[in-house]
Amino acid sequence: MRIFFYLFLFISLHPKAYSNIQSVYFAGGCFWCVEEVFEKTTGVVNVESGYSGGDKKNPTYMEVVTGNTGHIEATKIDFDPEIIDTNQLVKTLFLNIDPFDNEGQFCDKGYSYRSAIFSNDQELINQAKELIQKIEKNHNEKVQLMILPFKNFYLAEDYHQDYYKKNPIRYNYYKYSCGREKRINQIKLNLK
């Protein structure tokens, strides 16, 4: 029995077991909420909250929310492309943001809370642009999500990682009072 355990452990810890894992970088307002959505998405193996898009190296949360760093609250989403593809991930992002808000997301306003996809992958960019065209046609409204070149990603402070798990009461109060789910339900986004 031990031999099977050690064999399983060896295989699961072997670098080849995770060699297919890819990453995307999305912003959808408060990174706590984006992290929760994607951690509960089948095929996603890890999600980390951080900052992306700006020029300041290793910014802090307080520096980012002032709006002076050029960074946006973002998430690094590691996924297994054999289980979920980038098109499904982009759709998941759109279904969990207000794509028409150009001032931030829900109750969080300012550049650091804008929605964005950070990528240099032309296929992913094309998928996002195609979806934006569908949404604009179906809703007769301009999508405000930004598609930006990926430059960098800096991890947010430890207390931001898995916030929804570590602080469920505070997190759920924030999410409810911010009106995130209420607004998402009002939009009834049509992706067809």
- 120 vs 125: CA distance, rounded Å: 8
- pLDDT surpassing 80 at residue 9: no
Question: Which 8-state DSSP code applies to residue 27?
Answer: E
- pLDDT surpassing 70 at residue 77: yes
Please indicate, yes or no, if residue 156 is contained in any of the structural domains: yes
- pLDDT surpassing 90 at residue 1: no
Per-residue pLDDT, 18: 58
Please indicate, yes or no, if residue 154 is contained in any of the structural domains: yes
φ, ψ at 116 (rounded to 5°): -160, 155
- pLDDT surpassing 60 at residue 7: no
- pLDDT surpassing 90 at residue 95: yes
- pLDDT surpassing 80 at residue 10: no
Question: Which 8-state DSSP code applies to residue 45?
Answer: E
Residues noted as catalytic:
30
Which residues constitute the domain of residue 124?
A: 20-187
Please indicate, yes or no, if residue 51 is contained in any of the structural domains: yes
Per-residue pLDDT, 192: 87
Q: For residue 75, what is the domain's CATH number?
A: 3.30.1060.10
Please indicate, yes or no, if residue 172 is contained in any of the structural domains: yes
Prediction pTM value: 0.88
> Average pLDDT in the 21-37 region?
98
> Average pLDDT in the 184-192 region?
92
> Average pLDDT in the 83-96 region?
98
For the chain, what is the domain count? 1
Per-residue pLDDT, 13: 53
Please indicate, yes or no, if residue 73 is contained in any of the structural domains: yes
Please indicate, yes or no, if residue 3 is contained in any of the structural domains: no
Q: What angle do CA 127, 29, 98 make, to 5 degrees?
A: 60
Residues listed for the chain: 192
